[in-house]
Structure 1
Amino acid sequence: MKKMVRLHIKKGEESQFLFDTTVDSFIDNVINDITIIYNGRLKIFRICYEIEELAKHGTMLPANMMGLTTEQVDELKLKDEWGEKCVPMSGWKFNKDIMGRRNGRQPNEKMQEILRKSIETARNMISKDKIIQNEILTLETVQKALDILRGAVTIVYPMGLPPHDIIRHEFENTEDLTGTQASLEVIEIQMSQLWFSGKEMIRGKMLKDYLGSNEKTKVTVKLQKRGSGRPAREPLISENEHKQLMLHAYRRQEELKKLEQDDDNEYLDAAWADGSSLKRHFQGLSNISWRPH
């Protein structure tokens, strides 16, 4: 098995995923791959959320019908033509979307289950629990998760989704995130940076210029958007190690308290603590022991 250097990717103080590469890799390639995986995870989470809404309320309404009441739609004589074409397999029942984004044509329970299982599978594939399990995340895994989601939607909606549905835009990489929270999270490749030990890893150099030539190592690097300033350095000990130290200190403190309490009471059994011992000593009674006849 080829030795690899393992990078623990963080964004700010939050862990993201583990990534394997070699010390002979160029920084440009490492940054590009890590950024694609990072953005891919965000895309999967966005799609999963929208598929949950799809399973509840059907396809998205056209932009000119979003947020309108039934009365307003009737008054303006608007019609969801794509909603008539893009119907779920095996029929649907009406479940109104109070947000007014989707047409309310909820797939039946069996089709909902197909969508739910695909969401669960995709999220598990890119979960941060993989870090605890010491499992890496690859471009192939991200793509496979996207394919699973796309496959489930195709099964439930064999006629496809309306061209204006955000899920379709996400799959076709034509999504417009302008003005959304998601737009602040996504990092364009040309704007992405990696930092290690308080230093920016400069494009054009190789990983070994920063990590040395030992492949069998694991380090934490931070991904961020250019212009965000120097990220905070990693603490000398991990959060878990800090908790263990605090727990050890607490236990030690409790042990010392108990010892002090035991020491405070121990003198009560000592001869010098007996208030009448001095009197008995001068009377010559201190060494007399009583025996029954």
Structure 2
Amino acid sequence: MLCSRSYVTLEYSRSAVLGVMATNANTVHKFSRWEMVQLHVKRGDESQFFFSTTVDVSVETLTQQVSAIYNGRLKVDRICSEIPELADHGVSLPPNMQGLTDDQIMELKLKDEWEDCCIPSGLAEFKKDELGCRSGHAPNQKMKEVLRKTVEEAKALISKKQVEANVCVTMDLVKEALDQLRGAVMIVYPMGLPPHDPIRMEFENQEDLTGTQASLLVIPEEEAQLWWASKELQRGKKLQNYVGKNEKTKIIVKIQRRGQGAPAREPLVSEEEQKKMMLNYYKKQEELKKLEEADDDSYLQSDWSDRQALKRQFQGLTNIKWGPR
């Protein structure tokens, strides 16, 4: 009876969480007009997100806000890349058991103390992790679908495609994406994840990225710099010292780690414009080829176009070869 009540409570919680997700998914701000300064934030030549602010903001505050969103989006991406592994192979094994075969685990008499506690809702399905990093006790198809849909929704909130749609990304949107992922994991694993699971460590800000490729992307807030027009925005100044007092301004700023020097300047022609120019050039080349084929006069060298051929034939002057025999 207790299990039945727990399942009903879990289903109610699941409906409530998904209802909140559906409601919050529509809370995005789209720029129908410029009411504030628009910052197109880039890392190198790669677009990241749009951010709105005022010209009166201090560069110190602006750098903190932009770096928080930038690193928050990276956190969402890392969690979204780990959740499919959770859905396929269950929770993470303890560090001392990862990478070992079943025989080695038995020989060393190791036991996963969290195996019986961190079980998924419903019936678990066993799918062995070939890498030996996860337990293999995966959630059922229904719970997998919950995780999959939530990952898609979270990715959409902080996607780089928001730049094309002129959607501003705020820290609230990043937190909303994290809350959606956290809620989905709670639905599938109501007892929680083990403390060594990378997903739980991400939620608790205890992740260790040392020696990973992901660590190269993260920019600590105290080391972050913003650049505009090949100028570093100094933290002791305000944004209006660089862009003026016009609130309806749109600029491209680049974020990077201190000590890396000035980023590369923006190309005179954008990537999209360059593609259009190349396409137009290709079409012009094809048109010129067709015109050349239409104006080809090589047929003038053929026998049937020679007006004197019939006369030479009657006079017996055809097939005459000059030179020694």
Which digits, 9 at most, give the CA deviation of each residue in 1:104-145, with x for residues without a partner?
001111111111111111011111111111111110000000
Q: After superposition, where does 1:52-131 map in structure 2 within 5 Å? A: 52-131=84-163
Match of 1:244 in 2: 276
From 227, 233, 245, give the equivalent of 1:213.
245
The alpha-carbon deviation at position 245 of structure 1 amounts to: 2.8
Which digits, 9 at most, give the CA deviation of each residue in 1:136-163, with x for residues without a partner?
1110000000000000000111111111
Inter-partner Cα distance in structure 2 for 1:255 and 1:76? 74
Are residue 173 (structure 1) and residue 179 (structure 2) matched?
A: no
2:118 touches 2:192 (CA, 8 Å); kept in 1? yes
Are residue 153 (structure 1) and residue 181 (structure 2) matched?
A: no
Which digits, 9 at most, give the CA deviation of each residue in 1:146-185, with x for residues without a partner?
0000000001111111111111110011111111111111
Are residue 196 (structure 1) and residue 228 (structure 2) matched?
A: yes
From 219, 235, 240, give the equivalent of 1:187.
219
Inter-partner Cα distance in structure 2 for 1:74 and 1:257? 73
Inter-partner Cα distance in structure 2 for 1:263 and 1:90? 75
Q: 1:263 to 1:100 in 2, by over 3 A?
A: closer
Inter-partner Cα distance in structure 1 for 2:154 and 2:192? 20
The alpha-carbon deviation at position 75 of structure 1 amounts to: 1.1
Match of 1:283 in 2: none
Inter-partner Cα distance in structure 2 for 1:258 and 1:75? 76
Match of 1:271 in 2: none
Inter-partner Cα distance in structure 2 for 1:51 and 1:259? 57
Inter-partner Cα distance in structure 1 for 2:144 and 2:282? 51
- Bigger drift between 206-215 and 6-15 goes to 206-215
TM-score when scaled to structure 1?
Answer: 0.86
Q: 1:112 to 1:214 in 2, by over 3 A?
A: same
From 26, 37, 43, give the equivalent of 2:69.
37
Unmatched 5+ stretches in structure 1: 269-273, 277-293
Are residue 223 (structure 1) and residue 227 (structure 2) matched?
A: no
Q: 1:255 to 1:49 in 2, by over 3 A?
A: closer
* Secondary structure in structure 1 of the residue aligned to 2:254: strand
RMSD: 2.0
The alpha-carbon deviation at position 236 of structure 1 amounts to: 1.5
Q: 1:258 to 1:62 in 2, by over 3 A?
A: closer
User: Which runs of structure 1 show a deviation greater than 3 angstroms over 4 or more consecutive aligned residues?
Assistant: 246-265
Q: 1:257 to 1:165 in 2, by over 3 A?
A: closer
Inter-partner Cα distance in structure 1 for 2:124 and 2:67? 39
Which digits, 9 at most, give the CA deviation of each residue in 1:179-207, with x for residues without a partner?
11111111100100011111111111111
Inter-partner Cα distance in structure 2 for 1:253 and 1:74? 70
The alpha-carbon deviation at position 71 of structure 1 amounts to: 0.7
* Secondary structure in structure 1 of the residue aligned to 2:163: helix
**Aligned length, in residue pairs:** 270
TM-score when scaled to structure 2?
Answer: 0.78
Q: 1:264 to 1:110 in 2, by over 3 A?
A: closer
Inter-partner Cα distance in structure 2 for 1:59 and 1:43? 19
2:34 touches 2:248 (CA, 8 Å); kept in 1? no
Q: 1:253 to 1:166 in 2, by over 3 A?
A: closer
- The AA in structure 2 aligned to 1:189 is E
Which digits, 9 at most, give the CA deviation of each residue in 1:202-256, with x for residues without a partner?
1111111111222112111110000111110001221112222333344445556
Inter-partner Cα distance in structure 1 for 2:211 and 2:285? 53
Inter-partner Cα distance in structure 1 for 2:43 and 2:194? 35
The alpha-carbon deviation at position 2 of structure 1 amounts to: 7.4
Unmatched 5+ stretches in structure 2: 1-32, 301-305, 309-325
